[in-house]
Amino acid sequence: MSAEAHTPETHTPEAAVETRKFRLPDLGEGLTESEIVAWRVAVGDAVQLNQVIGEVETAKAVVELPSPYTGKVVALLAEPGEVVAVGAPIAEFEVAGAGPERTAAPRREPNLVGYGAMPEGTDRPARKARSWASVAGSKERAEPPADVRADVDRPRSTPPVRKLAKDLGVDLAVVHGTGPKGLVTRDDILGQVGTSAVPQIEAPQIEARAAGERETRTPIRGVRKQTAAAMVASAFTAPHASEFLTVDATATTELLSRLKESKAFAGVKLTPMTIVAKAMLIALRRSPSLNSHWDEAAQEIVQYHYVNLGFAAATPRGLVVPNVKDADALSLAELAEAVAELAGSAREGHIGPADLTGGTITITNIGVFGIDAGTPILNPGEAAILAMGQVRRLPWEHRGEIALRDVLTLSLSFDHRLVDGEQASRFLADVGAILTDPGVVMAMV
CATH number of the domain where residue 169 is located: 4.10.320.10
- When divided into structural domains, the chain yields a total of 3
- CA atoms of 19 and 40, how far apart (whole Å): 20
Report CA-CA distances (Å) from 258 to 81, 251, 253, 264, 444: 48, 11, 9, 11, 22
What pLDDT score does 349 carry? 77
Same-domain status, 94 and 162: no
- Reported as a single tens digit per residue, the pLDDT across 36-45 is 888 999 999 9
CATH number of the domain where residue 263 is located: 3.30.559.10
The answer on pLDDT for 299 being more than 60 is yes
Give the residue numbers annotated as catalytic, written as ranges: 416
Same-domain status, 159 and 269: no
- CA atoms of 171 and 297, how far apart (whole Å): 9
Angle at 427 between CA 426 and CA 430, to 5 degrees: 85
Angular region, 24: left φ>0, alpha ψ -120 to 50, beta rest = beta
- Reported as a single tens digit per residue, the pLDDT across 254-269 is 999 999 999 999 989 9
Domain boundary residue, one of 83, 102, 121? 102
Angle at 440 between CA 437 and CA 441, to 5 degrees: 115
Same-domain status, 347 and 433: yes
What pLDDT score does 274 carry? 96
What pLDDT score does 62 carry? 75
Q: List the one residue out of 156, 158, 152 whose CA is nearest residue 144.
A: 152
Burial 70-89 (b: 16+ CB within 10 A, else e): ebbbeebbbeeeeebebbbb
What pLDDT score does 215 carry? 78
3-class SS at 9?
coil
Chain-wide mean pLDDT for the chain?
Answer: 78
- Reported as a single tens digit per residue, the pLDDT across 211-239 is 557 777 777 776 667 667 767 767 667 78
Complete DSSP assignment for 417-443: TT--HHHHHHHHHHHHHHHH-GGGGGG
When pLDDT is averaged across residues 145-172 and rounded to a whole number, the result is 58
H/E stretch holding 266 reads none
- CA atoms of 28 and 163, how far apart (whole Å): 14
Domain that holds residue 261: 240-443
Look up the pTM and report it.
0.57
Percentage of the chain exceeding pLDDT 70: 72
Q: Are 409 and 244 in contact (CB under 8 A)?
A: yes
What pLDDT score does 85 carry? 87
The answer on pLDDT for 442 being more than 60 is yes
Same-domain status, 190 and 253: no
When pLDDT is averaged across residues 195-209 and rounded to a whole number, the result is 37
What pLDDT score does 156 carry? 63
What pLDDT score does 236 carry? 64
What pLDDT score does 304 carry? 96
Task: Identify whether 410 is part of a domain.
Answer: yes
Question: Residue 414 burial by CB count (10 A; 0-12/13-18/19+): exposed, middle or buried?
Answer: buried
Task: Identify whether 361 is part of a domain.
Answer: yes
More confident residue, 252 or 445: 252
- CA atoms of 124 and 29, how far apart (whole Å): 20
